[in-house]
């Protein structure tokens, strides 16, 4: 199911209709103004809250914008009202910084399969661990996209996240390989998925750099086009 959801998001991105932005929602609190100095109240909270006073009801309303997780949508997230943002936040709570939420709605590209949920990004170590297990212990297999998913650009849906060759002797015509525990390991650049495998290796390199280097020093933006 995870693979099918990712393929669905990828198909929407192929149409340049995928949005990825932080989910910002607004919370508000009401406080009776009896015994509260307006001047003292503003000085205490003006940096963090917006304050609105209703003299007829003798109530102060405090509001504050709070950041949520990155939200992936098939529509412009700016159309969301405060109530809808709050509902999405309630849907995925509790969440941590490396959670990615998604909200694919009917009436927009890819809306034939409306889905809501969240995915948690793993560590670089967990990615390498997954790839190593896929070499034999938990071999990957082909997953067909959902019937409601639009066509994929280039039909890119390989069975393996990154194709690898494991051999007892050094592979011929291979410039880069690793030798460990009596085996030679190299990225598979011999078949139809050569371009895909090279791109995955390049992405792994970028992720590795991000784990050990300040992102500002890389000089590259990490964005998803809309």
pLDDT number for residue 134? 92
What is the Cα–Cα distance from 152 to 8, expressed in whole angstroms? 9
Which pTM value belongs to this model?
0.75
Paired tokens of 94:
């509790």
Paired tokens of 158:
């390989």
- The residues with which 52 forms a beta bridge, in sequence order, are 61
What is the Cα–Cα distance from 62 to 28, expressed in whole angstroms? 5
Residue 77 has pLDDT above 50, yes or no: yes
Higher pLDDT, 71 or 48: 71
Paired tokens of 22:
């932080």
Contacts of 213 (CB under 8 A, 6+ apart): none
3-state helix, strand, coil in the chain (%, to 5): 30, 25, 45
Confidence of residue 213 (pLDDT cuts 50, 70, 90): low
Q: Is the dihedral of CA 207, 209, 213, 215 positive or negative?
A: negative
The mean pLDDT value for 75-86 works out to 84
pLDDT number for residue 219? 57
The mean pLDDT value for 41-68 works out to 75
Confidence of residue 40 (pLDDT cuts 50, 70, 90): low
As a whole-number percent, the residues of the chain with pLDDT over 70 amount to: 87
């Amino acid at each position: 199911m995870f693979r099918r959801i990712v393929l669905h998001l990828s198909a929407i991105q192929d149409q340049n209709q995928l949005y990825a932005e932080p989910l910002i929602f607004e919370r508000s609190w009401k406080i009776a103004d009896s015994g509260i100095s307006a001047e003292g109240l503003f000085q205490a909270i003006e940096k963090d809250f917006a304050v609105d006073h209703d003299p007829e009801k003798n109530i102060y309303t405090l509001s504050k914008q709070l950041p949520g997780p990155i939200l992936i949508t098939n529509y412009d997230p700016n159309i969301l009202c405060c109530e809808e943002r709050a509902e999405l936040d309630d849907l995925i709570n509790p969440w941590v910084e490396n959670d990615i939420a998604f909200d694919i709605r009917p009436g927009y590209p890819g809306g034939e399969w409306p889905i809501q949920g969240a995915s948690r990004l793993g560590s670089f170590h967990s990615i390498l661990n997954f790839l190593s297990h896929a070499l034999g212990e938990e071999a990957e297999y082909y997953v067909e996209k959902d019937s409601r998913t639009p066509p994929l650009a280039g039909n890119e849906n390989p069975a393996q996240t990154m194709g690898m060759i494991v051999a007892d002797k050094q592979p011929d015509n291979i410039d880069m390989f690793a030798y460990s525990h009596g085996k030679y390991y190299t990225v598979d650049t011999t078949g139809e998925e050569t371009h895909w495998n090279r791109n995955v290796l390049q992405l792994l390199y970028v992720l590795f750099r991000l784990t050990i280097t300040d992102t500002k020093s890389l000089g590259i933006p990490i964005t998803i086009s809309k």
